[in-house]
Amino acid sequence: MPRSCQRLVGGLATRLSNRDRVQVRHTKHSFFLPLPSRLLTFIFGPVTPFSFSNHRTISFYLSTDITMGILDELNLPAGVIYGDHVLQLFQHARKVGFAIPAVNVTSSSTVVAALEAARDSKAPIILQTSQGGAAYFAGKGIKDSSEKREASVAGAIAAAHYIRAIAPSYGIPVVLHTDHCAKKLLPWFDGMLEEDEKFFKKNGTPLFSSHMLDLSEESVEENIETCVRYLKRMAPLKQWLEMEIGITGGEEDGVDNSGVDNSALYTQPEDILQIYNAFKDISPYFSIAAGFGNVHGVYAPGNVKLHPELLGKHQAYVKEQLKFSEDKPVFFVFHGGSGSSLSDYHTAISHGVVKVNVDTDLQWAYLTGIRDYVTNNIDYLKTQVGNPEGGNKPNKKKYDPRVWVREGEKTMKAKVEDCLKAFKTAGTL
């Protein structure tokens, strides 16, 4: 029985005679409910009973459609999801027309803000760590050499275990992802993938739902060749790979593409086809972050020219060349989402974008809550004792980190909720 119907009938079944049987017919479902007719009359209005064997059976059609969300329709569990569940979620998003925000998290506090927003918006969420964010999660005092990326690996693994442990409590599906991994950061990727393989042997799933390789600064041939090598390792784990083709401009987490030629920001349809052909026989679990003018960060209006309509041309080209019946065979990812217009988001989503990265706007949102708290309470934060209420009054309740950090969580949560609405994700559960 769909969860929506379970919620509808609640605990009424406990009052039923074991000789009562109710058949509910819905546009997509037909199932039996053990409820007495008098209670059904109360809930649904008059119904007509008829004889069926030795039981009283009531058969009726629900004229009001039952809303089927992702949890019902795809049977997704709460908590971190993997493999076919990730594939089903992205297929559903592409078909229905929504995208899932990918939130860069750097601490348990930012994790909580994103999870709360998704839970209260009845939506799935993607939580991801960048290499720098993962190192921060581990602690800035841990060595992070370019050869081994010790802090980045340890921090990503720690974040993954924390998210896996806490996500089920929020009752929503969560995709656990890692963000941009450039060629110079491959030791970080290697460390995480080794942990995925160990975890898979013990638990039957990888530790992370998915990873991203960003080799867009390399040649198309090297980019694809490297991704293929890693995808072959990830395929037995049913682990998702996101790759980037076409550079995302601007700067994020130490990766600076602010000086690249403008033409490099736009991916060509032939490149998308080449990637699709290289990946499709290895695994169905992949997506492409194609460039359509994307830039990391927030800039003055008019400085960034996005052309999400190009994604539609890429889809049409792949469909035509491979003789697909599916209009949108490719899963696309929107990078550099902060500060973009609603029309750009919706155009991109209409052409198969299922994931939108949002970081800069959320960093700013988190800050504003803490900034405003400090500004409004500055006279309570200058000393441990003494404030406008009296020279001997303690200020501990004002400077306790749980108070002012929570204010950052609240404002970040509100911005994630805005993204969930903008990307049409809210209410999909």
Residue with tokens 């039981």: 55
Q: Which amino acid is at 208?
A: F
277 is in an annotated binding site: no
- List beta partners, residue 333: 355
Q: How does DSSP assign 384-404, residue by residue? A: SEEETTEEEEE-HHHH-HHHH
Q: Is the dihedral of CA 121, 173, 288, 324 positive or negative?
A: negative
336 is in an annotated binding site: yes
- Return the pLDDT at 415: 98
Q: Which amino acid is at 32?
A: F
pLDDT digit string, tens, across residues 136-195: 999 999 999 999 999 999 999 999 999 999 999 999 999 999 999 999 999 999 999 999
d(CA 14, CA 12): 5
Residue with tokens 């803490």: 370
Q: What angle do CA 184, 177, 367 make, to 5 degrees?
A: 90
Closest alpha carbon to 133 in 100, 113, 107, 158? 107
The percent of residues above 90 in pLDDT, for the chain, comes to 72
169 is in an annotated binding site: no
| 299 has a pLDDT exceeding 60 | no
- Return the pLDDT at 384: 98
d(CA 16, CA 36): 6
- Domain residue ranges of the chain, discontinuous segments joined by +: 71-359
180 is in an annotated binding site: yes
Q: Which of 20, 72, 144, 179 is catalytic?
A: 179
85 is in an annotated binding site: no
d(CA 50, CA 32): 14
Average confidence (pLDDT) over 303-321: 90
d(CA 223, CA 244): 9
205 is in an annotated binding site: no
Q: At what angle do helices 401-422 and 360-376 cross, to 10 degrees?
A: 140
Sheet containing strand 240-245, strands side by side: 79-80, 173-178, 125-129, 100-104, 353-358, 332-334, 286-290, 240-245, 210-213
| 254 has a pLDDT exceeding 60 | no
- Assess whether 179 carries a catalytic annotation: yes
Q: Which residues are CB-neighbours of 132 under 8 A, at least 6 positions away?
A: 152, 253, 254
- Return the pLDDT at 354: 98
- List beta partners, residue 242: 212, 287
Q: Specify the 3-state DSSP secondary structure of 212.
A: strand
The CATH H-level (homologous superfamily) assignment of domain 71-359 is Aldolase class I (3.20.20.70)
Min mean pLDDT across 45-54, 238-247, 326-335 is at 45-54
Average confidence (pLDDT) over 221-248: 94
d(CA 60, CA 44): 10
Q: Which amino acid is at 319?
A: K
Min mean pLDDT across 66-70, 353-357, 363-367, 385-389 is at 66-70
Q: How confident is the model at residue 294 (pLDDT cuts 50, 70, 90)?
A: confident
Q: How confident is the model at residue 293 (pLDDT cuts 50, 70, 90)?
A: confident
Phi first, then psi, for residue 319 (nearest 5°) are: -60, -45
Buried b (16+ CB within 10 A) or exposed e, 185-195: bbbbbbbbbeb
Average confidence (pLDDT) over 340-367: 95
d(CA 19, CA 57): 9
Q: Is the dihedral of CA 397, 400, 406, 407 positive or negative?
A: positive
Q: 244, 335 in Cβ contact below 8 A?
A: yes
> How far does CA 266 lie from the centroid of its chain?
25
d(CA 230, CA 190): 9
d(CA 113, CA 73): 27
Q: Which amino acid is at 181?
A: C
Q: Which residues are CB-neighbours of 21 under 8 A, at least 6 positions away?
A: 32, 34, 52, 55, 56, 57, 58
Min mean pLDDT across 33-47, 177-191, 266-280 is at 33-47
69 is in an annotated binding site: no
d(CA 415, CA 322): 40
335 is in an annotated binding site: yes
The percent of residues above 70 in pLDDT, for the chain, comes to 77
- Helices and strands counted in the chain (H then E): 15, 17
Q: Which amino acid is at 159?
A: A
pLDDT digit string, tens, across residues 71-93: 888 999 999 999 999 999 999 99
What's the mean pLDDT when you consider all of the chain? 85
- Return the pLDDT at 60: 39
Give the pairing type, strands 240-245 and 251-252: unpaired
Q: How confident is the model at residue 338 (pLDDT cuts 50, 70, 90)?
A: low
H helical segments located in 122-149:
131-138
